[in-house]
Structures are given as C-alpha cells and as structure tokens.
Amino acid sequence: MGRLFGTDGVRGVANADLTAEMALGLSVAAAHVLAEAGTFEGHRATAVVGRDPRASGEFLEAAVVAGLASAGVDVLKVGVLPTPAVAYLTGVLGADLGVMLSASHNAMPDNGVKFFARGGHKLADELEDRIEAVYEAHRHGEPWERPTGDGVGRVRSYDEGFDRYVAHLIGVLPNRLDGLKIVLDEAHGAAARVSPEAFSRAGASVVTIGAEPDGLNINDGYGSTHLDKIKAAVLAHGADFGIAHDGDADRCLAVDHTGEEIDGDQILAVLALAMRERGVLRSDTVVATVMSNLGFKLALEREGLSLVQTGVGDRYVLEAMKEHGYALGGEQSGHVIILDHATTGDGTLTGLMLAARVAETGKSLRELAGVMSRLPQVLINVPDVDRARVSTSAELAAAVAEAERELGATGRVLLRPSGTEPLVRVMVEAADQGQAQSVASRLADAVKSALG
C-alpha cells in the first residue's frame, strides 16, 4: 500500500478509507512510538484530542481516545475546536501529544487524523513513518504490550480549552478592533464559536454566516472555498470587510468592502508591512511557495522586503521558517503562519491581525491590499503525459526558454508535475490576461508534444 500519511496527516472517506479500527490502531502506534523515542520519559503521558464538527468525528474521536487510553496515555478531550487551537493547547498544557480529527476544506464525508508533537508542532516525517510501520506490524498480528490496573490512561473533558484559546488570540493582538463591522464565514466548521467570540471580544461588530454546524453541512457552500455568500453578505450589511475560514480554520481569505476577494498573497503583503513597522518581521523576510503571484514578489521588492520561496504545501513553508527563524509565511490559499504566536496556520489569528491593521491605519482593506497588484495567472492541467520527464526534455526546455524571453521581467512560467496524477501543471503569469492565456496554451501544447 502507499504511504498512509500525506502532507497533512492521514485523510480519506470516513468509515471507508479511515475506519474506527484504523484510528484506534494509529493512536496506539503513536503512543508506542513516542514512548520508544523517549517523549514520555519519567512521567505519565498526556494527549490533547480535538475535532471539527463532522458527524464522523464523533466515532473517530471515541476510537482515538480508546486507543490512547488503552496504551496508558491520559486524555484531555477539548471537543470541537480549530486545528490551530488543538496545536496551541498541546503546547500550553505541556501535553506529550496532540490529535486533531479533521479533513480541513474537504467535503463532509471525508475525515482525517493529524498528530502534533510536544509543543504543538507537526510530527517529524521519520516519526510518522515509524508510527505507520508499527501500525502495520500490529495490524498483521504482532501483539501490543498493554498496561493494566492503574496503568491505563484516564479520560476527562477539558472545557477550559475554548476560553484559553480565545484569550490567547486576543492577548497577541497589537490593538483593538473597535469601530469595525466584519462579516465572518465559519464554513459551518470548527471555528463557528471561537472566531465570532474572539472578534467580538476584541471590539468588532460581527455578522456571522456559516456558523451553524450540524455535523453534515461543513464546507457546504460556505467558507474559504465558496466565497459567493460572504461577498453578498459584506455588500448587504455594508461591512468594512469579510473573513472566510475553512472547515478546521487553519486558513483565512478575505473580501473587501466592494466584494473583491483578498487572497493569501495580499494578506501576507499587508501583514508583512505591519510586522516590519512593529519591528517583528525578522530579517525583513516573508516565506511563500512558488505558486505565489509574481505581483506579490514585485510588491515586496518595492518595499525593500525579501521573499524566500519553497515547494507547494504549508509544511515546506513552516520548515523554511523554523530553519532560518523567519516570523511570517504562507500560501495563496490563505494558510498564513505567524510563528511568534502559532505553530501552524491559524485562520482566526490571521483574520484578527488583518483586522487590527485596518483598525490601526484607518485605511480600508482594499487600500491596504493595493500594495500589490495581482498579475493575471493562467493554470492549465495537461493530463496523460510522462510527468517524470519534465526536467529532462530538451524540447520542453526550449519552449520554456522561448516563453520566458517573450514575458521578460513582467511574467513568469512554472511547470509542475503533479505529485499524485499523470499530469503536468502549466502556470503562466503575464502583464495582461490575453498574453498569459496565449503563452500558457502554447506551453500546454509543447508539454503534450514533448511528454505525450
């Protein structure tokens, strides 16, 4: 079988790909692997377990809790909270392990299991590989060592998690949000209570949509992947702007007072200038992926800031930030990491910081986001080609070089083999849409010809 762990934990259709037995087995395996690694040395181990509101999260949470407690780990159940809240509480409570049950922006039938190490950080790849190996070995008959008597884990609800997380969010804000009217779209997800509470306590007047999770409606027509409803609500309520989260609230996209989308690149640009002003943008550097719009890079250069680019995925952004001590990074999709205050992307924190900048400057979000101009970007997926030869085809290299000559400094070409399918993604940015479209079409043809 392929690797169970993807870039963001183990994910699949709940009760088909991701079963109760698998969730239980992975949790026991995680406890054993962390014990072997010395994480539990000299003390009784504790885990924080949270989930998003998906119906399947109810039985999967029960399985994870049973697995951990049967392996001798005490469990604090924090209930329905965002992924970054579970990461934060894992750190602040000194827990040895955090577990979040969520499939983020995926449709309701999916779910996932994501583990956090002590401190609330993502588990290292080698630990995930070891957990998978141990899980597979026991699935095929190797018996577990099981504690008995007072060695089994104890389970209790930790209801203070909600208030503790909200207090943390408000505590790191540089200024209050009084006078702002903000629409919040919670995607019927994990932040349905947290986000409105935090924005209200910080002084904003709040209108909420997509904040009535029933276990079945998560991400259904609401949230950061469906912006039509928040655009309409911002206009209908005459709000200053809107903030949209995804199902587990590790993302944040925004909508300005005219109903225009403000993407992750623009949010990063606004926050970068705010953080530089406060002297907390270390090395005057922002980390983003190669998919960031060229307009973002040009805006940072104009402002005298540096951009470090990584492969696609917030895990690569986070690795670069940790390695070099950078304070701000993220993706166009709205995953923004503010490392001084969070160990992972935190959509509520990002939205609050964006709102704080609007309140502090007295400028509209539209004006602040105007620091960068998004260049037209065309993405074409070319299927049924040999993606392995992207970097070795001389014919393709010549076509790319010709396109880059035509675009000059005001455009960009990116050819990216898919990590999971036999296709190549062709991305072209140019000064105008027509040129971007024509160059992208030409390159897509070249990919078919060279790799077909």
Binding residues for Mg(2+), by number, are 104, 246, 248, 250
| Sheet with 423-429, edge to edge strand ranges | 377-383, 423-429, 412-417
| Beta carbons within 10 angstroms of residue 149's beta carbon | 5
State the Cα–Cα distance between residues 328 and 311, nearest whole angstrom. Answer: 16
Helix (DSSP H) and strand (DSSP E) numbers for the chain? 14, 18
Torsion, Cα of 59, 62, 64, 69 (10° steps): -170
Annotated binding site: which residue ranges? 104, 246, 248, 250
Contact criterion met (CB below 8 Å) for 262 and 256? yes
Phi-psi region of 51 (alpha: psi -120 to 50; beta: other; left: phi over 0): beta
Instruction: Report the chain's terminal Cα–Cα distance, integer Å.
Output: 28
Q: What is the CA radius of gyration of the chain?
A: 23
- What Å distances lie between residue 238 and 48, 192, 204, 206, 370, CA to CA? 40, 22, 14, 12, 20
Known catalytic residues? 104
Q: Which residues pair with 157 in a beta bridge?
A: 77
Could you say which DSSP state residue 302 is in? H
Length reported for the chain: 452
Encoding tokens for residue 251?
């993302």
